[in-house]
Amino acid sequence: AEPALIYDLGGKFDKSFNEAAHTGAQKWAEETGETYREIELQSEAQREQALRRFAEAGANPIVMAGFAFGSALDEVADDYPDTKFAIIDMVTDKPNVRSVVFNEHEGSYLVGMLAAMKSESGTVGFVGGMDIPLIRKFACGYVQGAKAANPDATVIQNMTGTTPAAWGDPVKGAELTKAQISQGADVVYHAAGGTGVGVLQAAADEGILGIGVDSNQNYMHPGKVLTSMLKRVDNAVYEAFSAGTDLETGIQVMGIANGGIGYAIDENNEALITAEMKAAVDEAAAKIASGELVVHDYMADSTCPVE
C-alpha cells in the first residue's frame, strides 16, 4: 500500500519542521521509486478528515508531522485497526501507532553552546513558535548549553504566539528578532517553523547570526546562519515509510545517541565555526550520547533549571 504523509499547518515548505518530513519522504520515494500521498492542512478542523480519507483510501502507514494530530489520531486509530500510523512529537497510546519523539533539548544544548561561544556581546536570543511545552523544551536546552559555554551569557527568549498561527508568521519572527538585536543579541536561534524564515531573514539583514532548526537551514543565508539544530524528522519519516506495513509500533525516542538529533556544518557555515568551538561541542555531544552529561528535559517536570 502507498504510504501517506500529512503536514501540519506551517506547510510543506516551511524550510523547517514540515520540510524535513518532506525531505524524508522524497528520499524514500527516490530510493524506492515508489509514490506516496501527502496533504498540507489548511485548518485545525481538517485533521480528522485528512486522516480518515487516507485510511479509507487504504494508505498505510500514515505519518503525521506534528503533535497537534494527537487528538484526531486518538479518534481515528481504533476505527482502522489494520492501518499503521506514525505520529511525530507526540505520544499516542494505541496498538497501531508509532510515536516518535525527539530529544530536542540535547540538540538545542549543542547549538546553545555554539551561540554563546560565537557571541561577542554575551547576549544570545531565542525565538520560539507556539508557546507550548515542546518549544519550551527547545528553549531550556538552549539556555543550558549557552550557560555551559559561558556562565555569564544572557539569553533573551520570546515566543511568537499561542496558537498554531505562530508557526507561520515571518513578520512577527522578524520583528521579535529585531527587538532582540536591539537588546544586544548577536546570535538568535529559532524554533518556530515558518516563522523562523523571518527570524533568519532579520538576522541576516541586521548583520548578526541566526541558528536554524529541524532542517539544515544554513543554505538560506550563507555565512549568516551559524548552524542549524538538526531534528531528523526526515529520518523518522524515511524509516516509517521504509518499514511500510510492518511498522513497529510503540514509542521511538530519537536523540544524539541514535543520530536523531545533531547540528549542521556544511560549506555555508564552516568559516563561522572554529576548530575549538567544534571540538567543545563534539565533546559535549559525545558525553550526552554516553549518558555522562544529562541535559534537563523541560517536559519531564515543566521546569527549567536555568533562565
Partner 1 sequence: MDFLTLIQILDSTIRLATPLLLACLAGLYSERAGVFDIGLEGKMLAAAFLSAAVAYVTGSVWLGLLAGIGASMLLALVHGLASITFRGNQLISGVAINFLAAGLTVLVAQSWFQQGGRTPSLMGGARFEPITLPFADALSGVPFLGPIYGDLVSGHSVLVYMAFALVPITWWILFRTRFGLRLRAVGENPAAVDTAGVSVTRLRYAAVLICGVLCGVAGAYLATGLQAGFVKDMTAGRGFIALAALIFAKWRPWNALWACLLFGLLQAVALRYQNLDLGGIVIPVQVMDVLPYILTVIFLAGFVGKAIPPRAGGEPYVKER
Partner 2 sequence: MDKMPRWADVFLIPLISLLLAAGLSALVILAIGENPWAAVKMMVSGALGSTYGWGYTLYYTTNFIFTGLAVAVAYHARLFNIGGEGQAMLGGLGVALACLYLPLPHWLLALPVAAIGAALFGAAWALIPAYLQAKRGSHIVITTIMFNFIAAGLLNYLLVNLLRPVGSMDPATDKFPEGTHLPTLHDLLAPIGIEFSKAAPANVTFVVALLACLAVWLLLWRTRLGYEIRAFGHSEPAAVYAGINPVKITMIAMLISGGLAGLMAVNNVMGEAERLVLNAVEGAGFIGIAVALMGRNHPFGVLIAALLFGFLYQGGAELALWTSIPRELIVVIQALVILFTGALDHMVRMPLERIFLSLRKGA
CB count within 10 Å of CB 209 equals 25
Report the residue from 125, 145, 168, 210 that binds partner 1 according to the rule CB under 8 A: 168
Pick the stretch among 11-19, 66-74, 107-115, 232-240 that binds partner 1 (CB under 8 A).
11-19
Q: Choose from partner 2, partner 1, none: what does 178 bind? Cβ within 5-8 Å by kind.
A: partner 1
Report the residue from 34, 81, 162, 300 that binds partner 2 according to the rule CB under 8 A: 162
Report the residue from 2, 48, 74, 175 that binds partner 1 according to the rule CB under 8 A: 175
CA distance 90 to 99: 6
138 vs 263 by CB, closer to partner 2: 138
CB count within 10 Å of CB 93 equals 11
Question: Terminus-to-terminus CA distance in the chain, angstroms?
Answer: 48
Residues 6+ apart with CB under 8 A from 205: none
B/e letters for 292-302, b = 16+ CB within 10 Å, e = fewer, are ebebbbbeeee
Report DSSP state, residue 134: H
Residue 156 binds to partner 2 (criterion: CB under 8 A) = no
By CB under 8 A, what part of segment 141-160 binds partner 1? 158-159
11 vs 260 by CB, closer to partner 1: 11
Closest approach, Cβ 19 to partner 1, in A, equals: 10
**Beta strands 261-263 and 225-231, pairing class:** antiparallel
In the chain, which residue ranges form alpha helices assigned H by DSSP? 17-32, 47-56, 70-77, 104-118, 133-149, 170-182, 195-205, 233-243, 275-290, 298-301
Report whether 163 contacts 135 (CB < 8 A): no
| Angle formed by the axes of helices 104-118 and 275-290, nearest 10° | 160
Q: Choose from partner 1, partner 2, none: what does 222 bind? Cβ within 5-8 Å by kind.
A: none
Preceding peptide of 222 cis, ω within 30°: no
CA distance 229 to 111: 6
Report the residue from 131, 244, 278, 289 that binds partner 1 according to the rule CB under 8 A: 131
Q: Choose from partner 2, partner 1, none: what does 197 bind? Cβ within 5-8 Å by kind.
A: partner 1
Closest approach, Cβ 278 to partner 2, in A, equals: 34
32 vs 42 by CB, closer to partner 1: 42
Q: Choose from partner 1, partner 2, none: what does 35 bind? Cβ within 5-8 Å by kind.
A: none
Report the residue from 91, 171, 286, 300 that binds partner 1 according to the rule CB under 8 A: 171
CA distance 177 to 179: 5
Residue 198 binds to partner 1 (criterion: CB under 8 A) = yes
Closest approach, Cβ 48 to partner 2, in A, equals: 7
Residues in contact with partner 1, counted by CB under 8 A, come to a total of 28
Residue 182 binds to partner 1 (criterion: CB under 8 A) = yes
Report whether 15 contacts 21 (CB < 8 A): no
Report whether 73 contacts 85 (CB < 8 A): yes
By CB under 8 A, what part of segment 231-260 binds partner 1? none
Summarize as ranges the residues that interact with partner 2 (CB under 8 A). Answer: 37, 39, 42-46, 48-50, 52-57, 67-68, 70-71, 75, 79, 130, 132-134, 162-164
Contacts with partner 1 by CB under 8 A lie at 7, 11-13, 15, 40, 131, 158-159, 161-162, 168, 170-172, 174-176, 178-179, 182-183, 194, 197-198, 201, 205, 220
